[in-house]
Amino acid sequence: MFDFFEKFSADQLIPAGYNAIQFIRQWARTSSATGERASFEALPPKQVELAKRIVAEIEAREGRSVAALPLLKVDEYINLIAQKLQVLSRRDLHADRDRGKILLEELRLLR
């Protein structure tokens, strides 16, 4: 799932993925209650396209709107998107989780 992530840079996908997560976590539930449809207007056009593609892939796989998904299923998709974005960030941004933990611990010691 979300195999298309490999074709895009972290610069494009991380904001799109974050907003897709927010959509399925919060906005979809609100929109189902109010009848309003959330938008991704704050994003640049390419990121809007990617965020909508993420949501569309979930809806196609589930055969229903993300607003109709049970909370457990929403959490599964959020975790999957987050995991894929972590892999992407390590690849493109050379993020080193272990080094980050070491630096965080060093900063805590400076207090």
* pLDDT tens string 62-72: 999 888 888 88
Number of domains in the chain: 1
Q: Looking at 1-5, 53-57, 77-81, which range is the least confident one? A: 1-5
For helices 71-93 and 45-62, the axis angle rounded to 10 degrees is 140
Q: Is the pLDDT of residue 38 over 80?
A: no
Q: In whole angstroms, what is the distance from residue 72 CA to residue 63 CA?
A: 16
Q: Tell which phi-psi region holds residue 95, choosing left (phi > 0), alpha (psi between -120 and 50) or beta.
A: beta
Q: Is the separation of the CB atoms in 28 and 19 below 8 Å?
A: no
Q: Looking at 6-10, 26-30, 107-111, which range is the least confident one? A: 26-30
Is 1 inside a domain boundary? no
pTM (2 decimals)? 0.74
Residue 77 backbone phi and psi in degrees, to 5: -70, -40
Is 2 inside a domain boundary? no
pLDDT reported for residue 58:
95
Average pLDDT over residues 86-108: 85
Structural domain of 71:
7-109
Is 61 inside a domain boundary? yes
Which token pair is 76? 């599964």
